[in-house]
A and B are shown apart, each in its own frame.
Chain A
Amino acid sequence: MDSLMETSGTAGLCSDAGLNAPPRPREIRPLLERLLGEAEERLQAPLRPLSENHQGYLETVAIDPAGNIWISGWIKKGQPLEFAAVLVDRQKFPAAVVLTSYDRPDLPDDAHALFGVILTSWRPASTNADIFVFFGEDMRFYLRSVKPLRVVDPKAAMELFEGVRIFCDGTHTSALQRMLTSAENWLPDTARVAGFPVQASVDDVLVVPGFGCFAQGWIISPVKRIHRLALKLGSVLLHAPPEAIRQVSRDDLRPAFPHWEHLAPQAGFVAMLRGDLPADEVVDPLLKVVFTDGSSVNFTIETKALRRIGHSAPIDSILDLYPSLPFEPAFADFAAALSREAVATLRGCNPVRVAPASRAAVFVLPSDRSDLYLLFEEVLNASRQHDDPPGFVFIGRRDRNFAEAAALFHDLEAAGVRGCSLFLADDPDYAFYELPGVLNAVAAERFLFAAAGVFLTPDGWSAALRALQRPGGLLHILADCQNGVAVGRPDSAAQCFVWSASAFAAWLRQAPIFVGGFHGDNLLLRSGARLVVHGNARRSIGQDDTADRLVARVNAQIAAAHGGAGHA
């Protein structure tokens, strides 16, 4: 780390500085607080807005995310640029005012423009109100608001300051500038008023509600050393401890910054930022780069950089950014957050057609159109070959194949197959967890469940239909068949089984939700039910097992947290 601190202008990060910023000299916060104290003592002073005591106007007011009130306007020359004040807006408010001034061509010679900050509990309630700011030894001087008072976006106030900063007199200019760039201030794009060179960009933010986010980007800071990073989404602040930040070489920046090309090897960063992030706060992203001298600069992140894990970005994509995640202490929290996200996706299955069936064969419709045709043909064939077939329940997804699935469902009914039901799920991958609702809707007492891409062999159909006829709590696992060889191992048991609906519902109430819907047997084999395994009973088709590496680890973590390793 010493080498990083010594490197001139590097984007190196000082991990030894800890999370708390070092003291920053020449802050105006102590001055404001002192002046505010004086103002509170003078609240009872009589206040009369005599015309001869009118010293200027407030023209604009802006409130920044940190709650600071920035003002602009003009004031007669000779008046102090820092004072305790009483602000009157239908009632009195103590206030502390710190200003800087500059010449403005529209003003008379005896006046100059002002820009500054007011520390007060007052907030503008109406733009047409008469607002007075009394100041001076006996509070006889005052500034008055224009009507209507312009309440502007803090970005506009900052742009105004950026435009006049070099023309301001030096009394409080630098201090105000530092206040704009302080760690507490989340005004966007403050690099323009920072007074020192710094540029940054965030290329990708992978958001995990309930956990935080993973961000990657670059920072070029030729003058100041970087202390830490923070990211704001909505009203939530996310922080990256130093050990969760990685430096990455960005040779692609050399052409863009030829004067600072030696910073390229350390310019890139990947960071894991933690915070309790609700899903509805994933808005208005801002990056804060905090420097070792306490100053900071904020950068707006383009919203197109935002991706939500498990929604617009596959979970596995985190490993491309942050490959060490499965081995870090935060991994347990990450897994728990994903499991909670999975729970949030469970919104029940919408019934399209419901037919009562005390014995139900539930099939999740495959996403492949050809497999869809095959499933309905196999169901029709099975219904023809067996006396007293069960009711057939299909769970589909809202995709382009659903219309075709509905047509095939109708054809199945037209072929005389009774007791058919059709449901729509937002995410059929989690159909296993939606089963109680579906089974309740069709009033099933016993059921067969077959996940998407699972097809029963002739032996499997026979075993399943016999198991459906058999009452009791025996759990029948219909195991895979490979190349005609019976496979008796209960791998992926949760993808095809027969059980009692009430026993399953009772077990599911305490079972964990696995990301993606399945993790081996989903701990079904630890349900405590007596098992029967039928080999050579099913074939699983669909994409080859290129299971998301991270999902597998997450689910293993979830299983471990639940006290079971499961069969993965």
Chain B
Amino acid sequence: MPEGSEPDVRTGKGILRVLTCGSVDDGKSTLIGRLLLETGQVFRDQLEQAADESRRRGGRDADVDLALLLDGLQAEREQGITVDVAYRRFATGRRSFILADAPGHEQFTRNMATGASTADLAVVLVDARKGVVTQTRRHCNILSLVGVPRLLLAVNKMDLVGWSEAIHQAIADDFRAYADRFGFEGVVCIPLSACIGDNVALPSSSMPWYRGPTVLEALEAEPGRTESEAVAFRMPVQRVCRPNSGFRGLAGTVAAGRVRPGDKVRVFPADEVATVARIVTFDGDLEEAKRGDATTLVLAEDVDASRGDLIADHASPPQESDQFACRLIWLDRAALVPERQYLMRIGTGTAIAQVTKLKHRINVDSLEHVSASMLGLNEIGSCNIMLDRRVAFDPYREVRETGGFILIDRYTLATVGAGMIDFSLWRASNLTRHTLAVDKRTRAVQKNQTACVLWFTGLSGAGKSTMANAVERQLFADGRHSYVLDGDNVRFGLNRDLGFTEADRAENIRRFAEVAKLFVDAGLIVLVSAISPFRAERRMAREMMEPGEFIEVFVDAPIEVCEARDMKGLYRKARRGEIKNFTGIDSPYEIPEHAEITLKTAESDPDTLASRIIEYLRSRESTAPET
């Protein structure tokens, strides 16, 4: 037969990948069985085999259970259930189809999402007697999450509702109203009876009011997954082809867009610019390769590209990041553990991934956000992921092939999750990127604490250093990481050039605050012990920290008590006029107006007061939002 007469050559349409969603109760098996039968896909011996099996299980002779044609595994046939996704080919005179049949029981989300990941169109079944039910909405929700662009609503069992136009219309309206929320590219609604055959392959004579296509006509007419001319070129490098020293080709399948010799491209992650010299195939060089083509590119420049790299359009490059927000479908019986390491496969590359934050779970029936600390089998969550290196990607809604990934358990090697990238968490400058891998939060998380500054202020002799030391001892015993910046000690070194004038006091506090800020960035709990008499300087220090990081502790003791203690003999010297600008004598102390904690050191012992601070820190950590 001459090739030109082949229908798919004439119509120029490729294979359409179709996912069917629905349960046996909706008549899904009957519909698929009928599609296969009426397009001549079921061979006589296969039908006889199904009939044998039907009879063996006590079915009626004339009534072959069409589901037996579909259930492929012995366990399924014996238990009358379908355990796994099945893929079947069928063809009409005009077009070829790959049908992914996802069973509708407890493994439902996992199976349906698997089938949806490659589908161009989904057939959603409803029973005309029941209309749009929770399960129908769940189908829509998953299809929209995974990004299936087009839907065909099969309103089945029309024979059982008297072929009623009004009923069909009501269901179709109901369905469209729901589906419209998601912006599917196309929704077709067809009233049918899979059992009798109306509107499956042949038009129905019982529903003269319906003038639309049959299921087969609708499938044949589907445009398939179209790609606009504007989509930029992407090709993950699958393998380097180097048969001899004179040839170096980068083999891969074009994931998006198109490429021609002479095009400028960029190779990630190196981000080197190169020019496409040749597009090599066994059947000769190509002038153009486009989405889905398996090709080998030869670049004019000697660029060090290897498996896992992404070749992309020069003018519209992908994003690069090592942290992003995504939606994740969990596929494994062992639940997702945040902070645990998994392998991520994205494009042809692999990275080590960690879910840093599970923001919420998505209820597939209602799309409501549910707070969650874990993600179990068949659950979908919204989370942040961190990688051990930067990868090039596109948001999933823009390019499926460079925005979808799978997670693999590092020990069992099972495929445990499938994810869709929404956006990078770092869209800012290189400076931000530079501090990504280990930042304040990760350092603090490593130390099992939340970094902060405890700023002890008060008169000389009020007990600031005593309190800071008492608190640090308890922190240390608790396994926390801390450091005390003491007024006197810092003045011996860093601040030895400063005196006690108002200007020098202000500079003294500024330096304290800057050092404290660095230590907080290191993930430490910093205890500053300094008289810091002026509100303005304390406010300056507070504003240098992030909100919530600065904890002002007013160490409050009456000046008489302090003067009586006078452990360093300073009050006596000040009274004698030997020290100028002494706080409380000839320099004011501005009492804190909004201290987080006030400690009356004259009324309790230091360890009791220190416990109050520890208690404060604990409750703060348990309620603080993660940053």
**Do A and B associate with each other?**
no
